[in-house]
Structure 1
């Protein structure tokens, strides 16, 4: 793992990002499947992010919504499911087994234990009762193909049962068996989110049976996922890898060793690339701009972000929980933010005057394509940030 210590500087890291994340004009993709494969995963906790992240990387962005819906709900070549850090992502279907084994199993065990514990504390029925409800729910979902929690409760009325969570605490609340059980089944890889209720921006989803995939051992799956991610996003530090995967540092180190990852020198210390990926990467010949949505996987890809994000911009572009808002990119770095006004207009701001003048025409061209894509649709990020709020005021 220490075959070379070639230094990879900021300029080359930005060049890799531009090309491998399909952001430079010459690197744009033809399909949502190509985009997802290039990024490994698309953040899926905000439904609009998936479609807008695809649109920003397609050669024909006007096709993004229709093509992404085709991939998600018709061809099922993309799957929305829980993944790293207990977060919902959209993955290529061929990667679901790797994600489930590498990150989902541990989370699933904790989620099921927490549900059983909460139900026991509340005096709700026991594990055998829950297992019976689960079996009936999965059978009902198999018959229906896709269904909401309310529709499943018609077939299995016990899903409507409620219990008090955290009684006596400031965050006390009433939980429904359906919401908690379906969440557990999701992280266990038994169900996935299907077609939404309403438009592509809706956060209310139907549930669908999860695609069948072969069982994998945890260590092998972790090695496979880390190799895939380093090909897309390397170089990265150990801290970046631990943050992105949500694994223990010992798991990260084991996976790095298993794939013969190569050490490189970064400005912030030791980094890693996939085996054989130390050759220099040249920057795209043409300058490029991109308007990426809130929670975009490129903006959220690394824990250490100074090489593509000026720390001065952080308070404007992130909320207090660390969620990034809509960002404006110029030649491999974040230079500002954008938002959609209530009247549908796309507005953007680049604080640095010199960059603003240099990038204005390209950014406005991207904004025009985004306006055409959205049309009458209005998109408000799930996690709002200071600059996005200010631009829409």
Structure 2
């Protein structure tokens, strides 16, 4: 069994994640990563810029004009931006699993709070009503859907008895179920690039030529193969965590794609069968990545690129803040001043070359942002503490 050292894993990361060797387009950057995190809308733009130098207009064009990159609720009930060609695999695997869980929970909750006696029937009725309205009248925002469909304006209590609990409208729950199901998508955004005000659109209107979803086992195999090409080598635990899937589904997928076992620190890792060769070292590289970037969040086991900085970079819920990278390792974070200028916040003493390269990246990102300030809610403890 071939052994892959942490140094080689960091080399592979730099090359496959388009950080050591940038790519030419938004689509190429997204394909390189399998998907980009889109929980915060600005993250898609920042992640694409870090890997391709794309302008904000180019990212918007990929999302809303070409529709070559599509936002989709999938793994762990998180919004991602996927290459359109990967959607049939996502719809048949991770998104379908999320949709099943969301639909069941919503059905139970509407009965619990007295909205309906038959939760399954209520969910089926309301999801069909939303889809029918979008097909008949075209895209609508959440507010417009609530105005047109009074049932969506009902409110329900969440986290009762908790300090963070309260009331919320039921519309987002219905739309989450539909979005995960691949029935509707986040279409054109009525807000700016840093906000999320999508016009919900029936998927057949947004992507009229999209192929049907793949059968479950085939879908998981396709998604795991893409993950291996982006993140391999990774362990079974890494893949199970990333997918939010069962071990059985992951094991079947690894078998179906012919994944190759290799040794990594702490156990057995897997590579795609067409990506088992050793990589030559890349030139030294630096990068500034947004909160929840797929490189930061790609593995469950992170010691080989995170080192001792877990408590500085990740909050108590496991969310990674904006990060500063040097040659395949997280060495700090970054923040913005009120004037929009980007400042690197080291988590450790840096060598002169790293300091200089990260300062250059900060200047480059400052120029690209052009005065815009991105206010992520996922700031790292390191940055919150002022470094």
* Global fold match (TM > 0.5): yes
Of residues 268, 272, 275, the one that matches 2:273 is 275
Task: Indicate how the Cα distance of structure 1 residues 219 and 357 shifts in structure 2: closer, same or farther if over 3 A, else same.
Answer: same
**Aligned pairs for 1:1-393 within 5 A:** 5-24=1-20, 27-58=21-52, 61=53, 63-125=54-116, 126=118, 127-165=120-158, 173-210=166-203, 211=207, 212-284=210-282, 286-311=283-308, 313-353=309-349, 355-391=350-386
Q: Distance in 2 between matches of 1:332 and 1:102?
A: 30
| Alpha-carbon shift at residue 155 of structure 1 (Å) | 2.7
Task: Indicate how the Cα distance of structure 1 residues 158 and 18 shifts in structure 2: closer, same or farther if over 3 A, else same.
Answer: same
| Structure 1 runs not aligned, ≥5 long | none
Q: Distance in 2 between matches of 1:246 and 1:131?
A: 25
Q: Distance in 2 between matches of 1:247 and 1:134?
A: 25
Q: Distance in 2 between matches of 1:288 and 1:266?
A: 23
- 8 Å CA contact 1:6–1:278 kept in 2: the answer is no
Aligned pairs, number: 380
- 8 Å CA contact 1:338–1:391 kept in 2: the answer is no
Q: Distance in 1 between matches of 2:89 and 2:64?
A: 21
Tell me the secondary structure at the aligned position of residue 308 of structure 1. helix
- 8 Å CA contact 1:118–1:165 kept in 2: the answer is no
Tell me the secondary structure at the aligned position of residue 283 of structure 1. coil
| Alpha-carbon shift at residue 372 of structure 1 (Å) | 0.8
- 8 Å CA contact 1:41–1:89 kept in 2: the answer is yes
Tell me the secondary structure at the aligned position of residue 23 of structure 1. coil
Deviations 1:314-338 (A, max 9, x none): 2111111111111111111111111
| Alpha-carbon shift at residue 176 of structure 1 (Å) | 2.4
- 8 Å CA contact 1:32–1:64 kept in 2: the answer is no
Task: Indicate how the Cα distance of structure 1 residues 118 and 265 shifts in structure 2: closer, same or farther if over 3 A, else same.
Answer: same
| Alpha-carbon shift at residue 228 of structure 1 (Å) | 1.1
Q: Distance in 2 between matches of 1:46 and 1:180?
A: 18
- 8 Å CA contact 1:318–1:386 kept in 2: the answer is yes
| Structure 2 runs not aligned, ≥5 long | none
TM-score using structure 1 length: 0.91
Q: Distance in 2 between matches of 1:169 and 1:117?
A: 20
Structure 1 vs Structure 2 CA RMSD: 1.9
Q: Distance in 1 between matches of 2:130 and 2:246?
A: 34
Q: Distance in 2 between matches of 1:64 and 1:391?
A: 30
Q: Distance in 2 between matches of 1:13 and 1:250?
A: 26
